[in-house]
A and B are shown apart, each in its own frame.
Chain A
Amino acid sequence: MAEAESLRIRLLRIEGLPIVAVLLALVAAFMIAAPEVFLGYRIYMSFLATVPPLLVIAVALTLVIAAGEIDLSFPSVIALAGWVLGYCIHELASPWIGFVLALVSGALVGYVNGILVARVGIPSIIATLATQFLWGGLTTVFSQGLSYSLGDVDELWLWRLLVGRIGAFPMQSLWALAVAVVLWFVLNRRRFGEHLLFIGDNAKVAEVVGVNVAREKIRMFVLMGVMAAFASVLLTLENKNFFNTQGAGYLLEVMAAVFIGGTSVFGGQASVVGTVAGSFIIGMVEAGLVATGLQGFWVRAVVGIVFLAAVVGHIVMEEPERGRAVWRALQGKLAFHWKTRL
């Protein structure tokens, strides 16, 4: 018993281990179900091209949730920053200025969020819901509801550098990896990250130990905005297209990736490694199910099952007491059904 306990603790020290195991199990299942697709390399290259925007945002959101806050405005940043980039490329032929301005627009959205939450004191779920409408709406106004087709964008150095291919290997996966590594260090090895963890744990404690809570929250929302804008640039360049609802599908997928990865909704605890694995799970399920011959209709249901399994798995691993409670509740229910049926 004691040995099992110490093994459990040692395994827990390895960040994100349970969810990486789930990811590998999923890949293995797909390999068995659709070997002709999942034993080749092409499907993985395709994931490495499509997952990065999701991953970049999810990793940044992990820091926000670690601090006990939420940002619902990033789908509008995906739209706004994409429009800024598209406008600069399409109308002004200045891709680099477009890139910088896109990031600036994300920083601006984040700064406004930060002020609303940290200085005005509006709960972040409300403040960022409002700014999500505001910036999304303004993007529609700016773009007049039109989209930009950026067909020859792949001749630009910006395109080659951010989303070009080395052989079949997509550049954006390297950028996403870089973002994940940098933000892992920011969260786990920088003062800023430690302050976010304490703010999410208990803001009153953070204050008495000398954390400038308002300033750190503002910095955090700015970082979130810039990362959402960077993701938008990757997405817009990869698609060679801007349309003003391009962020719409991301809200729930990004949040699912973060929570599947084991980050606590209550704040104070976060796993960047888990989020990376969660992002790939979310990004793979759809393609995987189609390849195995199951219909696309199943995608959301399967995501739901994986999601629930992951969340329950985290509870069982991290808090065995609560895990046992879940188990007892299940047994109780089953026993109850059994008796009533008899």
Chain B
Amino acid sequence: MQPAQAEAVAQSWRHIVRLEKVDMTFGKVEALSKVDFEVGRNEIVGLLGDNGAGKSTLIKIVSGVLRPTAGRILLRDQPIDLEQYSVRMAHELRIETVHQGQSLGEKQPLWRNLFVGRQLVDRFGFIDVKKEKQIADQLLHQAIGFRGEGITAESTVRDLSGGERQGIAIARAMYFQADLIVLDEPTTALAVNEVRKVLAFIEGVKAGGRACIYIEHNLAHVHEVADRLVILDRGRVVREFARGEISLTDLTNQMIALHEGHARGRS
């Protein structure tokens, strides 16, 4: 592609990511079925659903960790080859994901955690340790969740608190300046004032003209920042609401009704 053409493509796309009729089965378990889901280029999408509704599976497909069993994925309106799609390719296409809980190597120093998967290397393929450490130290000053007490690029993840770990995972996503940031329950381990910082970060993503998929159990948080809410239930998209279309109280009642529906279904 010529630069001019590339520029034209860059200008013209509407959705950073679009899934069409995506199925995902694990053996006999149907985690997702016929899911249509899209995220606009400057949209914050809140993804809601009970445990096991398929939220994490959905974002693992978006971020290249899992390969769907059927369906299409379009990135910036271009269909992609599912055989080729991987975490590495997602990174190259500027899609960053903060996975729930485990996305850091516990025994590894922070500088390795920040750059693993896309290490800074010299022309002989050796990791540029000095540079990675230097950038890691800079990031630590700005990162969410840090009181900055004796934590350096050399510290290992297991020395950090839950909030600090989330902060590192988010800092990693921020550093690589993604067009789409996927956050899977980023506020779980955070104190109240740190949660505000995460919400401010998401608002910053919006202001920067970029997009975000935000999974969150705390309905008040998603309701506050999302442009659109998508509710998953047992692997299907069951409801969508644009911003302002539903009040927080009604949303809460909806979610409780879904949850009780399951309880009745089981009994």
Contacts of B86 in A (CB 8 A): 210, 212
Which residues of A in the span 189-241 have a Cβ within 8 Å of any Cβ on B?
A: 189-191, 194-195, 197-198, 201-202, 204-212
**Is B126 a contact of A185 with CB atoms below 8 Å?**
yes
Closest A-chain residue to B86, C-beta based? A210
Interface size class of A (residues with CB under 8 A): 20 to 34
Give Cα distance in the complex from A201 to B157, angstroms: 11
- Count B-side interface residues using an 8 Å CB cutoff: 29
A190 CA / B119 CA spacing, docked (Å): 9
Q: Which of A191, A198, A211 contacts B121 (CB 8 A)?
A: A191
In the complex the two chains form, is A209's CB within 8 Å of B108's CB?
no
| A209 and B107 contact, CB distance less than 8 A | no
Q: Is the CB of A208 within 8 A of B97?
A: yes
Nearest CB of chain A from residue B129's CB, rounded to whole Å: 7
Which chain A residue lies CB-closest to B100? A208
Beta-carbon contact of A205 and B121 below 8 Å:
no
Encoded as 1 (CB less than 8 Å from any A CB) or 0, chain B from 90 to 117 comes to: 1100000101001111111000100011
Contact A197 B102 (CB under 8 A): no
8 Å CB interface, B68-105 against A: 86-88, 90-91, 97, 99, 102-105
Q: Which of A2-21 contact B (CB under 8 A)?
A: 13
Decide if A210 touches B88 in the complex (CB within 8 Å). yes
Contact of A269 among B107, B116, B117, B119 (CB under 8 A): B107
List CB contacts (< 8 Å) of B186-236 with chain A: none
Q: Are A198 and B105 within 8 A (Cβ)?
A: yes
In the complex the two chains form, is B105's CB within 8 Å of A190's CB?
Answer: no
In the assembled complex, which residues on chain A have CB atoms less than 8 Å from the CB atom of B99? 208
The answer to whether A191 touches B127 (Cβ under 8 A) is yes
**Bound-state Cα–Cα, A193 to B227, Å:** 42
Query: Given that A189-B126, A268-B107 are known contacts, is A209 also in contact with B102, CB under 8 Å in the complex?
Result: no
Is the CB–CB distance between A191 and B108 below 8 Å?
A: no
Q: Which 10 A-B pairs have the closest CB atoms?
A: A210-B87, A210-B117, A201-B105, A268-B107, A209-B117, A210-B88, A198-B105, A189-B126, A209-B116, A208-B99
Offer 6 A-B interface pairs, CB within 8 angstroms, sorted by A: A189-B126, A202-B106, A207-B65, A208-B97, A209-B103, A210-B88
A residues near B, CB below 8 A?
A: 13, 185, 189-191, 194-195, 197-198, 201-202, 204-212, 264, 268-269
Besides the contacts A206-B105, A208-B60, what 7 more A-B pairs have beta carbons closer than 8 Å?
A185-B126, A209-B87, A210-B90, A210-B91, A210-B117, A211-B116, A269-B107
